[in-house]
Amino acid sequence: MLIAIWSLRKPKLEAVEQAFQNCPYFWWTIIKYESRKTSSDVSDMPLNIEEIMLWAKNRVKNLQKEINNADFYIWLEWGTSKIWDKYFLFGTTYIEDNNWKWHYGFSPMMEIPDHIQHELYTNKRDLWIVIEEMSDRNNVKSNNGTLWELSDDMIKRAESFQISTQAALAPFFNKYWK
Protein backbone atom coordinates (compact mmCIF):
# COMPACT_ATOMS: atom_id res chain seq x y z
CA MET A 1 0.00 0.00 0.00
CA LEU A 2 1.27 3.48 -0.87
CA ILE A 3 0.38 6.57 1.13
CA ALA A 4 1.18 9.95 -0.49
CA ILE A 5 1.58 12.80 1.99
CA TRP A 6 1.69 16.48 1.22
CA SER A 7 4.39 17.55 3.66
CA LEU A 8 8.07 17.26 4.33
CA ARG A 9 7.79 18.17 8.02
CA LYS A 10 8.83 15.38 10.37
CA PRO A 11 6.01 15.77 12.96
CA LYS A 12 3.37 15.50 10.22
CA LEU A 13 4.98 12.45 8.66
CA GLU A 14 5.27 10.79 12.08
CA ALA A 15 1.61 11.60 12.79
CA VAL A 16 0.42 9.90 9.60
CA GLU A 17 2.56 6.81 10.20
CA GLN A 18 1.34 6.53 13.80
CA ALA A 19 -2.31 6.96 12.72
CA PHE A 20 -2.00 4.14 10.17
CA GLN A 21 -0.14 1.92 12.66
CA ASN A 22 -2.98 2.42 15.17
CA CYS A 23 -5.66 1.60 12.58
CA PRO A 24 -6.66 -2.08 12.79
CA TYR A 25 -7.52 -2.13 9.08
CA PHE A 26 -3.80 -1.93 8.26
CA TRP A 27 -2.17 -4.08 10.94
CA TRP A 28 -1.23 -6.77 8.41
CA THR A 29 -0.41 -4.42 5.54
CA ILE A 30 3.00 -3.29 4.38
CA ILE A 31 2.79 0.47 3.96
CA LYS A 32 5.15 2.71 2.03
CA TYR A 33 5.05 6.49 2.38
CA GLU A 34 6.00 9.16 -0.14
CA SER A 35 6.01 12.84 0.73
CA ARG A 36 6.08 15.96 -1.43
CA LYS A 37 5.30 19.65 -1.32
CA THR A 38 2.87 21.03 -3.90
CA SER A 39 1.02 24.26 -4.53
CA SER A 40 -2.36 25.02 -2.96
CA ASP A 41 -3.36 27.64 -5.55
CA VAL A 42 -4.77 29.76 -2.69
CA SER A 43 -3.43 31.93 0.17
CA ASP A 44 -0.61 30.52 2.32
CA MET A 45 -2.53 31.39 5.50
CA PRO A 46 -6.16 30.27 5.22
CA LEU A 47 -8.25 32.22 7.71
CA ASN A 48 -11.48 30.24 7.82
CA ILE A 49 -12.60 26.65 7.58
CA GLU A 50 -13.85 26.98 3.99
CA GLU A 51 -10.41 28.24 2.83
CA ILE A 52 -8.72 25.41 4.73
CA MET A 53 -10.91 22.81 3.05
CA LEU A 54 -10.31 24.29 -0.41
CA TRP A 55 -6.58 24.50 0.35
CA ALA A 56 -6.55 20.82 1.26
CA LYS A 57 -8.42 19.66 -1.83
CA ASN A 58 -6.13 21.73 -4.10
CA ARG A 59 -2.95 20.40 -2.51
CA VAL A 60 -4.12 16.79 -2.85
CA LYS A 61 -5.20 17.42 -6.46
CA ASN A 62 -1.68 18.72 -7.20
CA LEU A 63 -0.08 15.86 -5.23
CA GLN A 64 -2.01 13.35 -7.36
CA LYS A 65 -0.37 14.83 -10.47
CA GLU A 66 3.06 13.96 -9.04
CA ILE A 67 2.21 10.61 -7.42
CA ASN A 68 -0.58 8.96 -9.38
CA ASN A 69 -0.50 5.43 -7.96
CA ALA A 70 -1.13 5.96 -4.23
CA ASP A 71 -3.92 4.27 -2.30
CA PHE A 72 -4.43 7.35 -0.11
CA TYR A 73 -3.47 11.01 -0.53
CA ILE A 74 -3.08 12.99 2.67
CA TRP A 75 -2.76 16.67 3.49
CA LEU A 76 -2.25 18.06 7.02
CA GLU A 77 -2.12 21.67 8.16
CA TRP A 78 -3.01 24.09 10.92
CA GLY A 79 -5.92 26.39 10.39
CA THR A 80 -7.86 29.08 12.14
CA SER A 81 -11.54 29.87 12.10
CA LYS A 82 -13.94 32.22 13.83
CA ILE A 83 -16.79 30.80 15.86
CA TRP A 84 -19.06 33.50 17.24
CA ASP A 85 -16.64 36.16 18.53
CA LYS A 86 -13.65 33.86 19.17
CA TYR A 87 -10.92 32.58 16.88
CA PHE A 88 -9.59 29.04 17.18
CA LEU A 89 -6.50 27.17 16.02
CA PHE A 90 -6.78 23.51 15.01
CA GLY A 91 -5.13 20.83 12.93
CA THR A 92 -6.85 19.52 9.82
CA THR A 93 -6.28 16.32 7.85
CA TYR A 94 -7.80 15.68 4.45
CA ILE A 95 -7.60 12.15 3.03
CA GLU A 96 -8.67 11.10 -0.45
CA ASP A 97 -8.44 7.54 -1.70
CA ASN A 98 -7.69 6.38 -5.22
CA ASN A 99 -11.45 6.19 -5.92
CA TRP A 100 -11.94 9.93 -5.20
CA LYS A 101 -13.69 9.26 -1.90
CA TRP A 102 -12.59 11.82 0.69
CA HIS A 103 -12.95 12.81 4.35
CA TYR A 104 -11.71 15.50 6.72
CA GLY A 105 -10.56 15.10 10.31
CA PHE A 106 -9.83 17.77 12.90
CA SER A 107 -7.69 17.94 16.02
CA PRO A 108 -8.70 19.56 19.29
CA MET A 109 -9.27 23.29 18.93
CA MET A 110 -7.66 25.96 21.06
CA GLU A 111 -8.70 29.58 21.38
CA ILE A 112 -6.25 32.14 19.96
CA PRO A 113 -5.41 35.06 22.31
CA ASP A 114 -6.77 38.47 21.23
CA HIS A 115 -3.38 40.08 20.57
CA ILE A 116 -2.37 37.19 18.31
CA GLN A 117 -5.75 37.36 16.54
CA HIS A 118 -4.99 41.00 15.79
CA GLU A 119 -1.66 40.07 14.19
CA LEU A 120 -3.31 37.36 12.08
CA TYR A 121 -6.51 39.00 10.93
CA THR A 122 -5.70 42.73 11.01
CA ASN A 123 -1.98 42.79 10.22
CA LYS A 124 -2.22 39.68 7.96
CA ARG A 125 0.88 38.02 9.45
CA ASP A 126 1.59 34.28 9.48
CA LEU A 127 0.88 32.65 12.83
CA TRP A 128 4.21 30.83 13.09
CA ILE A 129 6.14 34.10 12.63
CA VAL A 130 4.15 35.82 15.39
CA ILE A 131 4.65 32.83 17.72
CA GLU A 132 8.39 32.69 17.03
CA GLU A 133 8.75 36.39 17.83
CA MET A 134 6.77 36.07 21.05
CA SER A 135 8.38 32.82 22.22
CA ASP A 136 12.01 33.47 21.24
CA ARG A 137 12.07 29.96 19.75
CA ASN A 138 13.26 29.14 16.26
CA ASN A 139 11.73 26.78 13.73
CA VAL A 140 8.39 26.49 15.53
CA LYS A 141 6.81 25.70 12.15
CA SER A 142 8.88 22.54 11.67
CA ASN A 143 9.01 21.34 15.26
CA ASN A 144 6.11 21.03 17.69
CA GLY A 145 4.12 23.92 16.26
CA THR A 146 2.01 26.80 17.43
CA LEU A 147 -0.59 24.73 19.29
CA TRP A 148 2.28 23.35 21.37
CA GLU A 149 3.36 26.90 22.23
CA LEU A 150 -0.17 28.07 23.02
CA SER A 151 -0.82 25.02 25.24
CA ASP A 152 2.40 25.36 27.29
CA ASP A 153 3.86 22.24 25.65
CA MET A 154 0.85 20.05 26.47
CA ILE A 155 -0.40 19.45 22.91
CA LYS A 156 2.33 18.37 20.53
CA ARG A 157 1.99 18.84 16.79
CA ALA A 158 2.41 15.13 15.93
CA GLU A 159 -0.18 14.09 18.53
CA SER A 160 -2.81 16.55 17.29
CA PHE A 161 -2.22 15.56 13.66
CA GLN A 162 -2.40 11.88 14.59
CA ILE A 163 -5.88 12.51 16.02
CA SER A 164 -7.03 14.51 12.98
CA THR A 165 -5.65 11.81 10.65
CA GLN A 166 -7.43 9.03 12.53
CA ALA A 167 -10.65 11.09 12.43
CA ALA A 168 -10.34 11.44 8.64
CA LEU A 169 -9.33 7.80 8.14
CA ALA A 170 -12.11 6.11 10.17
CA PRO A 171 -14.98 6.92 7.76
CA PHE A 172 -13.27 4.94 4.99
CA PHE A 173 -13.81 1.75 7.01
CA ASN A 174 -16.30 2.39 9.81
CA LYS A 175 -19.58 0.47 9.42
CA TYR A 176 -21.68 3.60 9.98
CA TRP A 177 -20.30 5.13 6.78
CA LYS A 178 -21.19 2.11 4.63
Count of Cβ atoms closer than 10 Å to residue 97 Cβ: 13
- pLDDT tens-digit map of 102-139: 999 999 999 999 998 899 888 988 887 888 888 877 76
Contact predicate 144/156, CB 8 Å: yes
Q: What is the pTM of this model?
A: 0.87
pLDDT at 140 over 70: no
Picking from 50-64, 94-108, 125-139, which range would have the lowest pLDDT averaged per residue?
125-139
CA nearest neighbour of 19 among 130, 174, 175, 168: 168
